[in-house]
Structure 1
Amino acid sequence: MSGGVNTALSIPVIAAALLIGAPALALEKAADVNVPAGGLGKAIQLLGRQSGASIGFRDSRLTRQRVKAVQGRLTPAQALGQMLEGTGLVARQVAAGTYLIESVPQPLARPAPVSRAPAPRAVTAPPEEEPAAEIVVTGTKRGVPLNVYPGGVQIVTGDALSLADGARGSDAISTKVASVVSTHLGPGRNKLFIRGIADSSFVGPTQATVGQYWGNSRITYSAPDPSLRLYDIGSIEVLEGPQGTLYGAGSLGGVVRVVPRAPDLGVSGGMIWAGAQAVQHGQPGSDGGVVVNLPLKDDRVALRALAFGSIEGGYIDDTGRNLKDINDVRTVGGRASLRFAPTADWTIDLSGVGQRISGADGQYAERGGNGLTRSSRIAQPYRNDYWLGDLVVRKQFGPVEMTSSFGYAGQHVFEQFEGAELANLVNLSLEPRPNAAPAAYLQTDRISMVTAETRLARRGPDGTGWVIGLSLLHNEARVNRLMDLGALSVVLTGVRNQVDEQTLYGETSIEPAERLILTFGGRLTHSRLSGDSEDVLRTLAFRIDPTADKARSETRLLPSAALAYRATDRLTLFARYQEGFRPGGIAVRQDFVQRFKGDRVATTEAGARYNARDFSLSLNASWSRWRDIQADLIDGFGFPTTANVGDGRVLSVGLSSRWQPVDGLSIDASLYLNDSHIASRNTARLIVAGVSSNLSADLAAINTERLPNVADATGRIGVSYVAPLSRSLDFQVNGFGRYVGKSTLGIGAILGQLQGDYLDTGLEFRVGTDRQAVTLSFTNLFDARGNRFALGSPFLVRERNQITPLQPRSVRLGFNLSF
């Protein structure tokens, strides 16, 4: 690679392995090596070029470690051995021609919130500015250096996630990445959105607009975000969308890829942790867990296992039932991963994940008073059970890597809402009857998904290379509904959707001129869609649209093109065009089933990325055209339904930066602006027989409304400081403030209520060593209420002003111990 762009401080701690230099055809052969003494970062860049090896490390503090000069005809292993002699570092071969530099094995390191820490105290930094470690975007499926990646991307390293962050699941991602937003119906039943591409507030049969991945495996399709707890994580990558070429359907807004830490073949150890939380105006909470890593056989087999649990204390009072703090949430789960590396170029990983989230009642309140009370007549519990099993096999064929993955994901979601009153249902009246008996609406979603993918990838120098792959997907989602009227239970029409996809995709990057990288790609997908009604006679369910149950097929070609130009070693300019799509399906409207068709997004984006050692800045703007938008709505009686609402457009601008004014102090800031409109509505498909006049009026009013849930402005500022207290004891403090601007609940007059416009804050202190630490964490420092989501029960949206407040001011005292 030419130039050696500085990128370490754009992401404070590198958790992903670095891949520096292009793999050569003869990776293990001796080469002429001539590397002068100096900093490790510059030395391994030069060695990578000369030997063709891929060399990386996880800890960016090693960048300035001084190493010895190396000269002669040497293999990469020999050169690294001489270079690192006397430094306390070792180079471990993790694949053919691929080495990981790390400290002499120690017990598992803490997952503490670390900003960019000072250089090791025993080392004096050289006077010249050393190049930073190269950050690699692994979500590209072939490893593209960040400095030539042509698109918006945010990377959160695992070391930047504290144990308190891990307990928050997906909320921690939206807190740290300004381009990611979420609904807030409750953990385990939310939807994530990226870059202004948002369809609705409800989780219906539509596919999510954000592709979520756990390592190599997809974890959702037409299901809510399971909010998997983020303990023991290597990195999180947010690739702004669409990402149709590499990830296909459901990546209209982008991709969130969480990479858990893999089993370590050479280290035995573990960690335990626990925390206790006090919530102002609410009940206390607690969390704890354990992680162990066990090498089982001769550096070839290792097991890594994790178990955890938490209780989030409630803070909503229900005056209607005279109950306090009703909305506590309990989470329990775990995962295990077995790694088998029979040779240097084979790796086999078998993993399993399981988690259960149980919410005792709805997370919402009603506007007025102290913002933490509501009046309801029944409890509204929910539950999300999630499990994932996957097998990933990797084989290195010289410079080409083959990856095959097989995954099965299942999700069982149960929800109960306070429904329409009995008199309203019997008389089909929207006028409230105060003396009517309360009703409960119960919905159960059962989703199962099988995925398989095989790909070949080659990473060339300076971001060149290619990837080609074949993927298969089978997803089946069942929705069953029931109205419980006390003495009478009414079974409502349910629906089953099934999607089978076969996909061939490919992407290549070339360098036609110095510093200019062109990327071209495409994805050809064939989808077969089928569905049926549940629990009622088919003749009744399909009486409005008799053809809705007919299987049908769609074939889509999604092209993509991009360029990245390195104007200087520090400045990269990029532009990109890419498309994404979602297949259609069938949905329930009142008590009948009708079809909705697929939608498609085309996005053009341009931006710039600047990286110096102590400062980084990225700016990008995107324009998206969205056709036949699928949206989940509510009908005139409050029942969720799905329809194509028309065509829209989204303009998004993002700015993010990081600055390190002095060693140990890091400041980051980001701002995202979104402007969206439904440019043309599809009234003919929306207003159908059997729909109330109220709903027709709502749908007719959506001509220029903005898309739901995504705020017009989102901004974040974060500060991190690290200082030594003694030779082995460190003090750390991390704080953030995140502003979420105004947005609407949904599309149409019923859901047009404003939400957002609040400030979220947090502060965490840590004192400890590499093996043990005590932490003190504060959230919502100003005890703000805000309104994260203007919905509790869809049946009560018309008559009650519902809000979802921030958790009140809270403090958590925790500890962790490595062994």
Structure 2
Amino acid sequence: MIAAALLIGAPAHAQERVADVDIPAARLDHAIRLLSRQSGTSIGFRDSAIAKLGVKAVRGKLTAAQALERMLSGTRLEVRRVATNTYLIERAALPPAPRPVARPVPQPPATVPHDSVADEVIVTGSKRNVPLSVYPGGVQVIEGDTLSMAEGARGTDAIGARVASVVSTHLGPGRNKLFIRGIADSSFVGPTQATVGQYWGNSRITYSAPDPSLRLYDIRSIEVLEGPQGTLYGAGSLGGVVRVIPHAPDLGMTGGTIWGGTQAVQHGQPGVDGGAILNVPIVDDRLAFRALAFGSIDGGYIDDTKRGLKDVNEVRTIGGRAALRFVPADDWTIDLSGVGQRIDGLDSQYAERGGDGLSRASSIAQPYRNDYWLGDLVVRKQWGQLELTSSFGYANQYVFEQFEGVALADSTDLTVAPSASAAPAAYVQTDHISMITAETRLARRGPEGTGWVIGVSLLHNVARVNRQMDQFYLASAGSGGSTTGQTFPGVISIQPADTLTLTGVRNQVDEQTLYGETSIKPLDRLTLTFGGRLTHSRLSGDSEDVLKMFAFRVDPGASAARSETRLLPSAALAYRPSDQLTLFARYQEGFRPGGIAVRQDFVQRYKGDRVATTEAGARYSVRDFSLSLNASWSRWSDIQADLIDGFGFPTTANVGDGRVLSVGLAGRWQPVRGLSFDAAVYVNDSKVTAPAFATLPSDLARANLERLPNVADATGRLGFAYATSLSSSVDFEVNGFGRYVGKSTLGIGPILGQLQGDYLDTGLEFRVGTKRRAVTLSLTNLLDARGNRFALGSPFLVRDRNQITPLQPRSVRLGFDAAF
């Protein structure tokens, strides 16, 4: 028996202590190996037959004994302490056979001491696993197991529905922009870098590209870190960071999940979705493979009255992931993964105000497409509380968009039909973005949030924008038919006339960065954090599809390569007057480098911008109740914004300096076992305090620039979740939410200064079955509200038409999921 014993971990003389524990559901031998490393204890067992038994996931700030007790809950195993920091796991003794005795006197249920250590959320986005209780900043964490398959199919929209500080534009999945904490620049995805850093595990997924809206299947957790996050994440994290952590391959479990569903959309076409997950250990405790494949068709619900078509805005999505985890030796982990997804929107999802709010009159189809690929490699080495992480990622994104435009016959030599002045034109823009990132960091995790991290990172991003205007003329139905597939009912067809190539642009950014952060504890219950990031950026730009002397005639210096060096300091404190209450304050900065942008048919330069934010807040948490409050004031210099010029073309400029005030309140309450409520409200007030009229294009110089776009003055959410057992083998769960989005403006400038928002979104979901197999019923937009999520369809028509983007009408999805 002694020869079969397996003892794993640190020396037995180490002092027992509370540690940050994060153990996934796995085989017993694999789970205790991880626990030994994280807690610094020795854990073993004598009976080798129990090695492959499955144990529960455990996460929180716990001692080894507490973690083992929770891990083994529900099994026929027990843990026994045999020496200091040394534990033995063995089978529980069988209870003795019952004997005929008098009925026992009922005893009151055992109570849990109030001073017991509760599960604690770990903020992995801190890059050194800081407990939430001492994290000095605004953060929201969504546990992946709380996301249903129906929510996962919504991609980033599911995050916005859960977190009140996150908002998005709504051009369509795969071409939206995310904003956090009121830091919003514009409605369009132009050459400017995003204000929100998006990460998939350790790898950045976007730079100057739209949100790819990767589907949130098989996710471990999602962290929303309110910004700026310049110290740890660098350029483009002005508003904050959204970090999605997928499930890694499990070295000790073979299994998977399949799911599917069908959706009925009121006033629209039905939809369908499905997918599968597979996890296979290849070499026990050394090598495992995990894969995911999915697809969906979202039925359209917008009618085009001019073309006589119904439900034109169907969206098709297909994608998958694959990952390998290799543990060549103790304390080494190598992860290799790939992500791919394609979104095809057959037509735009906007409508025109009036009527039923689900129809418009357009002359041509306005499809779009987003192809996204990501490959990354992450290598980790751990020595006790020290961890070295090195990562390399490559991302590639292709975005195609077509908008209905205005014919440009007056500016060309085209010979078209007499009715050409009324003919449509198609504005086509394609974006090709490729990005290489690499980072190496060394972190030390100390007790109660102390420790440090130091790292270096490299980034190479190339973004190319090509534009053209396809012009058409109107012909009678007898002229040979339409070659474009676009026809008016009865009398007219649309014939191609010519294609006009417009000026494009290519931007390249190369960044080299050194950063570091440290947290110390000078006094009991007080933690101070200091950090800084030194970034050197080299920027270069060029024109596409036209002669340089023509493209740079207004700003010849825009094509020259140039360099920027930025130092971003940060400081924060966290004070815990009690175990339940944390007070924090923070100062941090963020920036975006400059670049070149198209202005009509020429190219001009825009400068980099910078945000400095001061925030303060508090978090209170007891076993069944938590509450967080934070307020921030941001100063934003040389704001970059994508605008609409007088001809309807997107352009980019620095609009001036501004400030943003934000206040957020969020809470969760569990009054009884199985029932919980959550609520949140977020209030923003933004203003351009010093407009840069002198540097704006002449048609924008008189614009009303007082308010920043797209961020509502107030957002709020109220949700609930309830779970109970209907029988010994059947569970019942239900959850629901209501989310209010207040008023905002579409953009900056005289054309984009339209109001949008002021709507209520709702959802309800039921699940009946077991943890492994269940049937689900999901309902969205229970009130069948229209609303106006985004007041834009085509930038060329926004001046003359009252465009809106309605909510998807009331929908019902019937689905299933089964684990094996």
Judge same fold: TM > 0.5, yes or no.
Answer: yes
1:331 aligns with 2:347: no
| AA of the residue aligned to 1:276 | T
1:128 aligns with 2:116: no
**CA distance in structure 2 between the partners assigned to 1:306 and 1:340 by the alignment:** 18
Partner of 2:89: 81
Question: 2:80 touches 2:89 (CA, 8 Å); kept in 1?
Answer: no
Deviation track 1:758-786 (CA, whole Å, cap 9, x = no partner) reads 00000000001122100000000000000
1:60 positional shift: 8.6
Question: 1:300 touches 1:341 (CA, 8 Å); kept in 2?
Answer: yes
Partner of 2:773: 772
1:18–1:293 distance in 2 versus 1, CA, 3 Å: closer
Question: 2:470 touches 2:499 (CA, 8 Å); kept in 1?
Answer: yes
Instruction: Tell me the SS of whatever aligns to 2:382.
Output: strand
Partner of 2:569: 559
1:701 aligns with 2:722: no
1:370 aligns with 2:356: yes
Instruction: Tell me the SS of whatever aligns to 1:139.
Output: helix
**CA distance in structure 2 between the partners assigned to 1:673 and 1:535 by the alignment:** 45
1:3 positional shift: 12
**CA distance in structure 2 between the partners assigned to 1:6 and 1:500 by the alignment:** 37
Structure 2 residue aligned with 1:309, among 295, 300, 306? 295
Partner of 2:638: 628
Question: 1:345 touches 1:397 (CA, 8 Å); kept in 2?
Answer: yes
Deviation track 1:712-754 (CA, whole Å, cap 9, x = no partner) reads 0000000000000111211000100000000000001210000
1:435 positional shift: 4.7
Instruction: Tell me the SS of whatever aligns to 2:590.
Output: strand
**CA distance in structure 2 between the partners assigned to 1:25 and 1:525 by the alignment:** 33
Partner of 2:742: 741
**CA distance in structure 1 between the partners assigned to 2:308 and 2:818 by the alignment:** 42
1:712–1:66 distance in 2 versus 1, CA, 3 Å: farther
Deviation track 1:407-450 (CA, whole Å, cap 9, x = no partner) reads 0000000000001134565599xxxx995221000000000000
Partner of 2:718: 717
Deviation track 1:131-167 (CA, whole Å, cap 9, x = no partner) reads 3112100000000000000000000000110000010
1:201–1:2 distance in 2 versus 1, CA, 3 Å: farther
1:213 aligns with 2:199: yes
1:572 positional shift: 0.3
1:47 positional shift: 3.2
**CA distance in structure 2 between the partners assigned to 1:537 and 1:516 by the alignment:** 61
Instruction: Tell me the SS of whatever aligns to 2:557.
Output: coil
1:496 aligns with 2:506: yes
Instruction: Tell me the SS of whatever aligns to 1:711.
Output: coil
Partner of 2:487: none
1:614–1:474 distance in 2 versus 1, CA, 3 Å: same
1:699 positional shift: 3.2
Instruction: Tell me the SS of whatever aligns to 1:789.
Output: coil
**CA distance in structure 2 between the partners assigned to 1:763 and 1:657 by the alignment:** 20
Runs of 5+ consecutive residues of structure 2 not aligned to the other structure: 1-14, 45-55, 95-107, 472-495
**CA distance in structure 1 between the partners assigned to 2:351 and 2:57 by the alignment:** 53
Instruction: Tell me the SS of whatever aligns to 2:151.
Output: helix
Instruction: Tell me the SS of whatever aligns to 1:536.
Output: coil
Partner of 1:384: 370
Partner of 1:37: none
**CA distance in structure 2 between the partners assigned to 1:351 and 1:5 by the alignment:** 29
1:264 positional shift: 0.2
Question: 2:20 touches 2:60 (CA, 8 Å); kept in 1?
Answer: no
1:660–1:768 distance in 2 versus 1, CA, 3 Å: same
| AA of the residue aligned to 1:272 | I
1:410 aligns with 2:396: yes
| AA of the residue aligned to 1:701 | A
1:502 positional shift: 0.2
**CA distance in structure 2 between the partners assigned to 1:61 and 1:794 by the alignment:** 56
**CA distance in structure 2 between the partners assigned to 1:7 and 1:188 by the alignment:** 36
**CA distance in structure 2 between the partners assigned to 1:769 and 1:721 by the alignment:** 15
Partner of 2:808: 807
| AA of the residue aligned to 1:509 | S
Deviation track 1:183-210 (CA, whole Å, cap 9, x = no partner) reads 0000000000000000000000000000
Partner of 1:449: 435
Question: 1:346 touches 1:393 (CA, 8 Å); kept in 2?
Answer: yes
Structure 1 residue aligned with 2:334, among 344, 348, 363? 348
1:26–1:163 distance in 2 versus 1, CA, 3 Å: closer
Deviation track 1:428-487 (CA, whole Å, cap 9, x = no partner) reads 9xxxx9952210000000000000000000100000000000000000000000000131
Q: Which deviates the most, 414-423 or 522-531?
A: 414-423
1:702 positional shift: 2.9
**CA distance in structure 2 between the partners assigned to 1:60 and 1:266 by the alignment:** 19
Q: What number of residue pairs does the alignment pair up? A: 747
Instruction: Tell me the SS of whatever aligns to 2:701.
Output: helix
**CA distance in structure 1 between the partners assigned to 2:60 and 2:407 by the alignment:** 70
Instruction: Tell me the SS of whatever aligns to 1:131.
Output: coil
1:312–1:74 distance in 2 versus 1, CA, 3 Å: same
1:73 positional shift: 2.4
1:600 aligns with 2:610: yes
Partner of 2:752: 751
Deviation track 1:288-320 (CA, whole Å, cap 9, x = no partner) reads 001000000122100000000000000000001
Instruction: Tell me the SS of whatever aligns to 1:547.
Output: helix
Question: 2:20 touches 2:62 (CA, 8 Å); kept in 1?
Answer: no
**CA distance in structure 2 between the partners assigned to 1:629 and 1:465 by the alignment:** 35
**CA distance in structure 1 between the partners assigned to 2:304 and 2:507 by the alignment:** 37
**CA distance in structure 1 between the partners assigned to 2:572 and 2:92 by the alignment:** 43
**CA distance in structure 2 between the partners assigned to 1:310 and 1:176 by the alignment:** 22
Q: How does 1:232-631 map to 2 (within 5 A)?
A: 232-423=218-409, 435-485=421-471, 486-631=496-641
Question: 1:23 touches 1:460 (CA, 8 Å); kept in 2?
Answer: no
1:808–1:402 distance in 2 versus 1, CA, 3 Å: same
Q: How does 1:191-210 map to 2 (within 5 A)?
A: 191-210=177-196
1:655 aligns with 2:665: yes
1:24–1:127 distance in 2 versus 1, CA, 3 Å: closer
1:515–1:74 distance in 2 versus 1, CA, 3 Å: same
Q: Which runs of 4+ in 1 moved over 2 A?
A: 1-8, 21-31, 40-48, 59-75, 84-87, 123-131, 421-428, 433-436, 696-703
Question: 1:236 touches 1:256 (CA, 8 Å); kept in 2?
Answer: yes
Aligned Cα RMSD in Å?
3.1
Question: 2:468 touches 2:500 (CA, 8 Å); kept in 1?
Answer: yes
**CA distance in structure 1 between the partners assigned to 2:175 and 2:59 by the alignment:** 48
1:30–1:188 distance in 2 versus 1, CA, 3 Å: closer
**CA distance in structure 2 between the partners assigned to 1:3 and 1:742 by the alignment:** 50
1:302–1:663 distance in 2 versus 1, CA, 3 Å: same
Sequence identity percentage: 73
Question: 2:43 touches 2:87 (CA, 8 Å); kept in 1?
Answer: no
1:336–1:257 distance in 2 versus 1, CA, 3 Å: same
Structure 2 residue aligned with 1:157, among 143, 149, 152? 143
Give the TM-score normalised by the residue count of structure 1.
0.87
| AA of the residue aligned to 1:666 | S
1:640 aligns with 2:625: no
Deviation track 1:572-597 (CA, whole Å, cap 9, x = no partner) reads 00000000000000000000000001
| AA of the residue aligned to 1:155 | V
**CA distance in structure 2 between the partners assigned to 1:537 and 1:585 by the alignment:** 19
**CA distance in structure 1 between the partners assigned to 2:265 and 2:566 by the alignment:** 50
**CA distance in structure 2 between the partners assigned to 1:5 and 1:610 by the alignment:** 21
Give the TM-score normalised by the residue count of structure 2.
0.87
> Larger Rg: 1 or 2?
2
